Amino acid sequence: MERTEWPLWEIFIRSQHGLAHKHVGSLHAPDAEMAIKNARDVYTRRNEGVSIWAVKSADITATAPSEKGPLFEPANSKIYRHPTFFPMPDEVKHI
């Protein structure tokens, strides 16, 4: 008999005060609807969130660890890209 495992899902949760969904972990579920339900039970037991996203892990395209050098290192030497050279006005939130 063929053994079929449920697909893996990546779970993102928006917290009470957060503006963006954050990755919290992964779980197995037979379909999208059950992935949301399982995420509710596995990751929001302690009132962590107000919204859940579930994405099939297989649908995520990721950078390869071996490309780390060419992709990210060139930015290291360009400190002028960081907004650290001027004072931040108090009114500006969420940065």
Partner 1 sequence: MSTDRQLFDYLLRLADSDLVLAQRLGEWVGHGPVLEEDIALTNVGLDLLGQARLWFAYAGEVEARFAGAGRSEDALAFLRNGGEFRNLLLVEQPNGNYADTIARQFYFDAWHRLLLAKLTHSRDARIVEIAAKAEKEVTYHVERSADWVIRLGDGTGESHVKMQAAIDDMWMYTGEMFDPDETDTALAEEGIGCDLRALAPAWREAVVSVLDEATLTVPSWTSMQRGGKNGVHTEHLGHMLATMQSLQRTYPGAQW
Instruction: Using CB under 8 A, list all residues that contact partner 1.
Output: 6, 27-30, 33-34, 37-38, 40-42, 45
CB of 11 to partner 1, least distance (A): 11
Please give the structure tokens belonging to residue 7. Answer: 């697909």
Cα dihedral: 32, 36, 41, 47 (round 10): 170
What is the Cα 89 distance to its own chain's centre? 29
CB of 35 to partner 1, least distance (A): 9
Terminal Cα-to-Cα distance of the chain (whole angstroms): 54
* Residue closer to partner 1 (CB basis): 23 or 68: 23
CB of 89 to partner 1, least distance (A): 43
